Each structure stands twice: as C-alpha cells, then as structure tokens.
Structure 1
Amino acid sequence: MLKRITLKTWLFIAAGVVIVLALFFFFVNRATLSPSVSKTKGVQLTQNGAGQYQTVIKDGHYLTSAARGLTATSQGNAVDTKDFESGLLNLAKTHFKTGRYIFQEGQYLSSDTVSGLLARQTDSNMTGLNPKDNGKTDSSRNPIYVQSLTEQDFMTKDGSNLKLAGMVVGVAMNTQDTYQKEQYGANYYQTISEADRIAYGKKIAPKLIKQIRAQTGVAKNIPIVIAMYANASEDSLGGGSFYSQATSKSGTNISAWTDIDDKTVVFPKESSDSSSIGTDENTGFTNFNNDIANFFPNIAGATAVGHFTNSKLTSMKVTVTTQFYSQTEIEAFANYVDSAAVKFLPSSAPVQITIKTANETQAILVRKSDDKSYSVTIM
C-alpha cells in the first residue's frame, strides 16, 4: 500500500527543486557573464567595430608594446605622444585594411634595442640613430634629431596562430632640441631647420630598416612603412604632425618618399600666421569664444586645436578654462556652451569640448561628425 505524501513533504520537495534550479541558473549565468578571456591561455582577438582593427590578447591580457614610453630625452611636448600614436594608426589603415589585418602592439623591437637606436652613435653603440656628440655647447652642436620610435605590427591568421604580415614604424623627429651645458644647469634650446630635419630623417631610415629586419621573427620581404613625424616645440598648445612616408618591401630598399599633408592648427590663430588652412574654422572659433565670454564673466580663456588632413578638418579639441565653483553655475554654463558650439563650431568633423578649472575637469561635450547636437557630461 502506497504511503500518502503530506503537504509538508510536498513543500520540502518543492523547496529543494527551487534551490537546485537556482544554483543551476546561477552557475550558468556566471559562466556566461564572466569574461572567458581572463582564464584563457594562449592568443585571442578582441571584437572590432566598423573601421577598427581586431587587437591581440595573450593569456587574458592585452598585449602591450615591448618598448612603450621610451624617448631619447625627457623633454618634449606632452600632446605629441598621443597624437603621434593615434595618427600613426590612422595612417596605417591606408596600408593595412582593418577587415583583413589584425593590429598588435610592437613586439619585435625590444626596449634595449629601441634605447640603443634612440641614443647617440658612439664607438660602443654603432646602431644609434642620433649623431655623435661633437662636444659643442652652442648652435654648432650636433642635436638630438630622433626623439622617439613607435612600432605597430599587422598580423594575419595562420591556422590557429598569427603571422607577421607588415609593420608601420613611426619616427618622431625634433624640431627643437632642449639641452644643458652642464648637469642640472639651465635649459637651452636649439632650433632644427625643416631642411635639416627632413634630410637627416631620410639619411637614417635605411639604417633603421636594417635593424628592424635583423630582429628575430621579422621576414626580409614583409612591407615596412616608415612614417616621419615632426614634434611640436615644448610650449606649443598643439601637437606635431606627420610629414613624409616611404615603404621598404624587402631588404633595406626604400621607395620614393611621399609627402603627408597633415597639419595641426591652434585657435585662435596668431596674427603672424598667414596660412590659409583653418581660416574659416578660426572665424567660427573666435565668434564662439566671444559669445561664451560675453555671456559668462568667469571665463579665463578658451583655445582649440584642429587637425587637418589634405587641408580638410578631421578633428577639433576645445579647452575652456573657467572659475566656476557651484554645480548650478557649471550646469548652466555647459548648457550655454552646447548651444554656442552648435551655432559657431564646425559640424563636418568630430569636436570635443573640455570645460575645466586649473585643477579639475568640470564638463565634457562631444559631437560626432554631422551630429546635430552634443552629448554633455557634467563631472
């Protein structure tokens, strides 16, 4: 005879089933939501958006450059580093298509190799790209021409592995060399003429290609693009710009150099700047600056940096310095800047506006190309 199951027993069984199901879904969701990259050994790829490269992840971590952050001297324009690397990646897209190639931070030039390349040439360091010290401490001294190098690798899939298919190497050249006549002494500045900079860059390019191809894993016949960048002076509000490029398809042979029409313009333009590039943008920015200064008295100043490629504006970054302290003032001002920017600043290129005091960022406004409005973030 079957034993009758009581209500209490049914409730106990039901509770057990609920607990089992809850634990099941907890671990299923956890396995689904937890990033598998952090536990996966080997090489994986990130998912790329439209017009962007897939990038390399190794053993759950982003693969950083083997020689990142190295420069010939500690002096330099802080804006240059970011503009140099981002501009180099944009240039790379004209040689290595994002849908076919995978981007990898430079892995073939070690930090020791790059340090040797950026140093002066000496009897013990013949690979140095900068000239020997001639002992002079005036305008006749041999300056530091090459300030920094950036390697970018472009890979293709080879079964379950990645294969190096091409490289882009950016060479940042000084337009002004800062030096000291004695240790811990005053800084002196040596201007490097455009002609000297261009000539010296072409001179050292084959030597650099030779050192790159000497590295383990770099084939003799992969294309290596050399892109030359002119650093801005230390006190410049804007960064520098790329000015020339060439490609080595094999050995140390380099194709004819081609000019890169890449310019950085600081707004408001100085009266001595007779260039026609950025004239319309300068008028719009001046009107924008006057408008917000007339509406709010606590404006310390506004500046902007525009990047132009083939004489066409590709991006603008605006900095507005204020003396606001209350949240209501910041919000009111950000909203007014929004309306003034829509009215006066260009809409054909992405624009970023940062509102800040001397010590902190208060608001950021961003508009993409051809958007009708800005997204406003109050910090």
Structure 2
Amino acid sequence: MRKVSVLALSLVLLLSACAPNFQKQNDTVQTEEKTTGKAIIPKYNISNNYYRTILPFEPGEARGLVVNNINTRYDLNEFEMGLMRIAQNSFSTDKYYFQEGQQIKGATIKQWLSRQYTPAQLKANNIKASDNIGLNPVNTSPTGSTPSSPIYLAHVLEHDYLTKDDKGNVSLAGITIGLALNSIYYYKLQTDGDTLEKKLPYAEVEKQGKNMAAEIIKRIRSMKNLGNIPITIALFEQQSKTSVVPGNFTAYATVDEGSSDLNAWKKVDEKYYLFPSTEATNDHRDDTIAFLNFKQDVETYFPNYNGVIGKAFYSGGQLQSLDITIPIQFYGKTEGIGFTQYVTGLVMEHFPKYLSVTVNVTSVDGPESLIVKEANATEPFVHIYQ
C-alpha cells in the first residue's frame, strides 16, 4: 500500500539519500584557530554519503565567486557535490569532518582566475609583477578583437577535511581542490558588444587543467601550515549557459603528505544526460526507451501534454539515479493527488528496483508533490505539498 506523507520537505531530503547513521550526542571539540573557542560536531550523520560539518558554520574564503563564475545552478550544485564524492576516495566520511575552504584567500583565487600578463600589459594596467599570478593564458590580441587564447579556468573551489584526536582537538587533515574548466568560451567584442562563443576541444581543456593543477599544488605547498597536508585535486568540465543538465568531473589526482608531485591521474567516469535527447538515445538506448514508455503513460492521463523531462546520472556507464520533472496545471487539489497516485504506480512499474528515482510534480503555483523511490525500496515515499 502506497504511503502519502505530509512531512516537511526538509525531512524528505534528509531521508531520501540512505539510512541515517545517528550518533548519541553532539560532540563539543576544541579548534585550532587563531581565536580559540569551541566547535560542535552534529550528532546526526544523515547518510554515509555525506560528511558531518563542523559548527558554527564558517563560510569559505572564496564565497560568492563560485556563483559569478559557474554557468548554471546545475553546474554549481554538481561542482560542489561531485567534489565531495571524489573526496571520499581519500577521506572517509566516518573519520573526517567537512569545512568550507579556509586556507586559500578569496583575493588569491580571484588573481589565479585572471590571465597572465606580458610586461607591456603589466605596465599599461599598472599591475605589479608579483601580482602576475593568473593561471589563464596571455591574450596577445589587440584590444577589441577576438582573444588570442580562451579562458580555460572558470573557478577554483577548496574543501577542507578535519579530524579529531583523543583529546578532542580538531585540526586540518586534508584538502580537496576542484578546478572548473570551460567547455565553451564566451567573450565580447568591444566593437559591437555582442557575446560570442567558442567550443573548446576537451583534449586541450584537460591539458590546460592538468598543467594548472600542478602549479596550484606548488603554490599551496608554499603556504603556511600546508606543506604536509594530503591534497586531492580534480577537473570539472562545466556545461554551456543554456544547458539543463550539469557538467561532470573527468579526472582527479592525489598528492601525498609532504609531497609537491601529483600521483597518476585517475579517470572519473560520470556523466549526466537529458531524457529524452538524441545523445541519450545514442548512448543508452534501453534506458531511454524505458523513460519514453513512462512518459507515454503519463500523457495518457493528460493526452495533450508532453512536458516530462528527466536528468539521468551515470557512473561507470551504469544509470545510478533519475530525476524527473513534470510541470502541469491542475484545477483542484484532489486532481493533483489523483495524478500523483497514478504517476507513483508508473514509477514502480517502469523502472528497475536498483534505480533511485525522484519525481517532482509542479504547477504555476509551485511544487505540488514529490515521489521518491530509493534503490531497492519496495515502496515509494510520497509527499503532497499543502
């Protein structure tokens, strides 16, 4: 028998990942900051897929830059959450605690994101040679013309991981760095102000990203108290500004404690697809057919409606999760409840047990219902918004 819950959405998000790992109490620990004080480790670990976060929350040094530099909110979410997934290869969620990046100053990251300058450009722009630390290549084209080289690096994201000793002291024990790289370079010509775009070959993007990663590691090693901290650094290819699915991480490398050399790069086999789409049909035909059958049955409820779209996440070539959005107009609450019940049955019928599926039903008035089928669950969780 299917359940209809009126629990708050926040609880849904907490419960939908996987079974919570609840600890008995909050831990109050001593931090090693410039200003001494107490920090709290939350007693609830909602999932082994997430890290417990040191409280009170300390915003990252580069807070705000990521919003300006990442193309879409889809890329923004995946850039942050994907970097956490990669961190778990080096820093386990049961031993390490998460904190937003505190080591690299926001002003420093901003300088890293700029271009390198020629001596003439430094003089013309009144820039000190010591501030010529941009990681993007020099633009040697005349002002107002097409740039001689693209901007490859869009953002640098730092996450810190802490551990607690037997005395309750918490200290930095690991760092992950994400490099957001452009798949499309957008630029303006001063002559007419139009925004132009250039598709960047990924082979060149990856080459530039790996070179930048090596340089960033050297710079981090020269910073105070960071000479011996293990580091993981990863490359993220963001999508275009019009994309409705996020980009993905493509590779990562680790740096051992006390070393400045990157270990061998490892491929990250992850990708998002839009359902339905030609790319999804070409690469994953069977999964696309299952989605189209689901979509067709939804449309039998509303014969003139065809707005069902899905965002599919693949890892290792296998479909891991599917997020479906159904925007539709209802003329009464009971109609929305009936439709949700119908769609819930379709979810259980059309998709395999191993697959995690989320369906958001929305209208012009906002969210109407949420259906969550966790992997291998025998019953879905359904929430009707009041």
Q: Which category describes the TM-score, using the shorter chain as reference length?
A: 0.7 to 0.9
Secondary structure of the 1:62 match is: coil
Question: CA offset at residue 36 of structure 1?
Answer: 11
Q: Name the aligned partner's letter for residue 379 of structure 2.
A: S
User: Are 1:45 and 2:41 matched, yes or no?
Assistant: yes
Out of 326, 330, 335, the position equivalent to 2:341 is: 335
Q: Does 1:127 align with 2:133?
A: yes
| Cα displacement (A) at 1:75 | 6.2
Kept in 2: contact 1:120–1:128 (CA 8 A): yes
- The residue that corresponds to 2:215 in the other structure is 207
Among candidates 203, 210, 218, match of residue 195 of structure 1: 203
Identify the structure with bigger relative contact order (alpha carbons < 8 Å, sequence gap 6+): 2
Code of the aligned partner of 1:310 = G
Structure 2 CA distance for partners of 1:145 and 1:73, relative to 1, 3 Å? farther
CA contact (8 A) 1:229 1:240 kept: yes
Query: 1:10 maps to what in 2?
Result: none
Cα distance in 1 between the residues matched to 2:162 and 2:252: 21
Instruction: Give the drift of 1:274.
Output: 2.7
Matched, 1:308 2:314: yes
1:66 aligned partner: 61
Partner of 1:257: 265
Could you tell me which residue of structure 2 aligns to residue 162 of structure 1?
170
Residues 248 and 334 of structure 1, relative CA distance in 2, 3 Å threshold: same
Task: Note if 1:299 corresponds to 2:294.
Answer: no
Quick check: 1:299–1:323 contact (8 Å CA) kept in 2?
no
Describe the superposition over 1:239-288 as per-residue Cα deviations: whole angstroms up to 9, x where unpaired: 0111111112234311121211111111113168532xx33221111000
Q: Does 1:141 align with 2:148?
A: yes
Query: Is the 2:146–2:189 contact (alpha carbons within 8 Å) kept by the matching residues of 1?
Result: no
The amino acid of 1:342's aligned partner reads: M
Does 1:239 pair with 2:246? yes
Distance 1:183 1:138, change over 3 A: closer
Question: Cα RMSD (Å) of the superposition?
Answer: 2.5
Which residue of the other structure, out of 96, 102, 112, is the alignment partner of 2:91?
A: 96
Alpha-carbon separation, structure 2, partners of 1:191 and 1:285: 30
1:172 aligns with 2:167: no
TM-score, normalising length from structure 1?
0.82
Aligned-residue offset at 1:336: 1.0
Aligned mates of 2:147, 2:67 — CA distance in 1: 20
Q: TM-score, normalised by structure 2?
A: 0.80
CA change 1:149–1:118 in 2 (3 A) is same
Q: 1:335 to 1:226 in 2, by over 3 A?
A: same
What are the within-5 Å matches in structure 2 for residues 319-330 of structure 1? 319-330=325-336
1:78 aligns with 2:73: yes
Go from structure 1 to structure 2 and tell me whether the alpha carbon gap of 1:369 and 1:148 turns closer, same or farther (over 3 Å shift). same
Counterpart-to-counterpart distance in 2, 1:326 and 1:178: 45
Matches within 5 A, 1:339-350: 339-350=345-356
Aligned match for 2:112, one of 117, 124, 141: 117
CA distance in 1, matches of 2:365, 2:137: 41
Question: How many residues matched?
Answer: 337
Amino acid in the other structure paired with 2:111: G
Query: Does the 8 Å contact 1:292/1:337 carry over to 2?
Result: yes
Distance 1:184 1:168, change over 3 A: farther
Native 8 Å contact 1:300 1:322 kept in 2: no
1:21 aligns with none
2:275 pairs with one of 267, 288, 294: 267
Residue 330 of structure 1 aligns to a residue whose secondary structure is helix
The alpha-carbon deviation at position 184 of structure 1 amounts to 8.7
Point out the more displaced range, 190-199 or 128-137: 128-137
- Letter matched to residue 253 of structure 2: A
Structure number with bigger Rg: 1
SS, match of residue 290 in structure 2: helix
CA distance in 2, matches of 1:93, 1:271: 30
SS of structure 2 residue aligned to 1:90: helix
CA distance in 2, matches of 1:36, 1:254: 35
Structure 1 equivalent of residue 52 of structure 2: 54
State how far apart, in whole Å, the 1-side matches of 2:139 and 2:260 are.
26
Shift in alpha-carbon separation, 1:221–1:310, aligned structure 2, 3 A: same
The answer on whether the counterparts of 1:65 and 1:106 sit within 8 Å (CA) in structure 2 is: yes
The match for 2:295 is: 289
Query: Whole-Å Cα distance in 2 between the matches of residues 243 and 308 of structure 1?
Result: 13
Following TM superposition, by how much is the alpha carbon of 1:69 offset from its aligned partner in structure 2, in angstroms? 3.2
What is the alpha-carbon distance in structure 2 between the residues aligned to residue 282 and residue 139 of structure 1?
40
Please report how far the alpha carbon of residue 74 of structure 1 lies from its aligned counterpart in structure 2 after TM superposition: 4.8
